[in-house]
Amino acid sequence: MTDPIFQDLNDEQAAAVAHGGGPLMVLAGAGSGKTRVVTRRIARLLQSGVRPGQILAMTFTNKAAGEMAHRVAELGGGYVRVATFHSACARFLRQDGHHLGYPADFSIYDVQDRDTLIKELMEDLGIGSAQAKPSLLGQWISKLKNAAMKPSDMGGGSDIARLVERIWTPYHERMRKVGALDFDDLLGVFLQILREQPEVAERYRERFPWVLVDEFQDTNRVQYDLLKLLCPPPGNLCVVGDPDQSIYGFRGAEVRNILDFERDYPTTTVVRLETNYRSSANILRGAEAVIANNTMRKDKRLRATQPAGTPVLRLKVGGAAEEASTVVDRIAQLHDEGTPLDQVAVFYRAHWLSRGFEQALKDRGLPYEIVGGQTFFERREVKDLLAYLRVLVNPLDDVSMGRIVNVPPRGLGKAGIEKLRQIAFAEGMSLREVVGEASLHGEFGPKARKGLAELAKVLNAAQAVADKGAHAPLKIVLLGTDYVKHATSFGDAEDSTREENIAELVSDTVQFDKGRAALSGRAVGGDGEGDDGPGEGLAGYLQHVALLTSADTKGQGPAVRMMTVHAAKGLEFDHVFVIGLEEGTFPSMRVADDPEGLEEERRLMYVALTRARRTLMLSNCRDRMVNGEMQSLRPSRFLKELPSDVCENYAPSWRRYDADERGSSSSGWSVTPDPEALAALRPGVRVRHDLYGNGLIRRIAGRGMNARAVVRFDDGLEREFVLEYAGLKLLEDLSL
């Protein structure tokens, strides 16, 4: 009878499972059955006589730990301790924290608790909130702990470095006084005990002679130092991971840990899992060609078990609206052919890229889900700014006013906001009216009075231009409140995301205003006759947003999954679309001068590519609006690293491409319109646009590459297009 532990394992997997004592490194490529190997190895150790209590297995999420423990139990292994690093160390500190003066019932502070304590210390030390947010100092404290560093290691003598140094000692003294540890302390304090108490370290080594670590490429400096003390060379330490999928540098993960493992454990046995069971051969070969350009990696060559499949599709479009409509059209086609929508995923490098796709999916009636995040108009910074705009249109909107009256902080606090509400009730006024009436501010302190006066000034200035469109008042709000600084000084990884979302909101207002100008005839020379679309000015924009956000797509069964590439780690889908592949977008402009950062971006691209099982489409725009300005963009370097023989240019039925990416042209573009399709487009014909629906061509001007069409759509809006890129499809002839 075949041993169930080795059943259905290939030779590489079986070698890793059967390995005896001594250090083992399993280099597990994407889709190579990594979790199966880890759980089978644990079951094999139990089968060979190792007691469950002698095994310590660690990973990075509670979900992964639970899944691994469940799989071991299914193999007849019984209970084995599988834990996250933090939960394991918390349990150990309950027993041994007393060595450093911590009680067994110590409290664990989460991020909010940490930042509340830092805020109190800042007040005690006379550090104003204008100098730094508590969360910013908290994030720096966390970064230093994860890198096993102290404030003196920050260097540079920056204002933040000085503030962190001032708060560092009082913070830890207060934590010790109240018997509390933050999440980073769970690792750092236990590491300190192991270093300072050799007998404690030896007791843990005897207790856990077998240690296994999953996702080893994601460990930080402190976690690796812990492992080396718990299981020093040549111990029975098994690490499983893939340096090509190390994408969490912003969280402190150090890819060097897995790259240097053989140096630290010279007797290591290395097993490479190189058989990929997930992706088609074309997809896999493309991914391997891209990641081969990295230098910080371990050599391995993945082999596909799936057939070649369809080519990797390359979509090159003129702008973001065309990108969204073309991709969504392809998704609709897949759905019509029987593909469940939950087997379709759209990946992007940054959250802000989701907005256009959300609109395109809603316009087509396709349900979608944002994985690991919120929809664009649900994001806090976007909702804050929309609240400012709503108050301009409706000064009686106390809900919106209450949201932004102390955002950014104006010295009010909860008590101050409640006082404003009481005054408004007593005077029979709205909050907006109370803010604008300085004579009612006598009960507030100097800082709050000044803040309210500045807010009233900004709202008055923005309201004066609200009839001109959405962009002008938004610009006044952003400049007058310094909101961008407020939203990007938390010190966390989301600072840049919030800034990008604000920039995308600015771009959305610019695009809306241009569309309204075209409709009224100011941009295209029309007669401005009545329409049924959103109203004029800022009110029209807010109506446009309300209609978008009211189309709730949740709870409707299978849905298209949309997510950042970071959120896609560990997932897989039959059909994957990776969008926004331009220099400065993916790879991010933040790594332009950072070789190590660029390698992490390439690993991120590798992760994106290897999530796809059957089909993969990669898209980039020639022009994209960024922060309200149209920018010409070059295709991502990662696209040029793909082998040409696994790729095929994707063109909708109305266009074909002649790609010339390696030519001397600065844009790398050469587009040839379909003559027959363009010849049928003339004034008086009915057409369909994938994003805007059905409409009537009112006039065409120009020839050849400069030919432009003005289309009046059934929603009442007129829009102007360059015919080559418009994607207009003929419906029927109608007279004007």
Query: How big is the chain by its Cα radius of gyration, in Å?
Result: 29
Paired strand residues for 657: 671
H or E element: which one contains 360? Answer: helix 354-363
**Which amino acid is located at 229 in the chain?**
L
**Residues with active-site annotation:** 34-35, 214-215, 245, 611
- Cβ neighbours around 624 below 10 Å, total: 23
List of E strands, 334-466: 344-348, 368-370
Which residue type does 83 have?
A
Q: How many CA atoms lie within 13 A of 376 on its CB side?
A: 26
Element (H, E) at 617: strand 612-621
Tokens of 272: 């490479």
Residues near 722 by beta carbon (within 8 Å), at least 6 away in sequence: 318, 706, 707, 708
β-sheet bridge partners, residue 713: 695
Q: Distance (Å, rounded) from C-alpha 558 to C-alpha 390?
A: 34
Neighbours of 13 (CB within 10 A): 23
What's the rounded Cα separation, in Å, for the pair 183 and 660?
A: 52
Q: For residues 345 and 341, what is the distance between their CA atoms, to the nearest angstrom?
A: 8
Count CB atoms within 10 A of the CB of residue 113: 15
Q: How far is CA 61 from the centre of its chain?
A: 18
Q: Compute how many other C-beta atoms are within 10 angstroms of the C-beta atom of residue 125.
A: 11
Residue 65's Cβ-side half-sphere holds a number of Cα atoms within 13 Å equal to 19
H or E element in which residue 24 lies: strand 24-28
> Could you give phi then psi for residue 379, rounded to 5 degrees?
-70, 140
Measure CA 128 to chain center.
32
Whether residue 625 contacts residue 631, with contact meaning beta carbons closer than 8 Å, is answered with yes
Task: Please tell me the distance from the alpha carbon of residue 517 to that of residue 524, in angstroms, as a whole number.
Answer: 8
Give the span between the Cα atoms of 71 and 79, in whole angstroms: 10
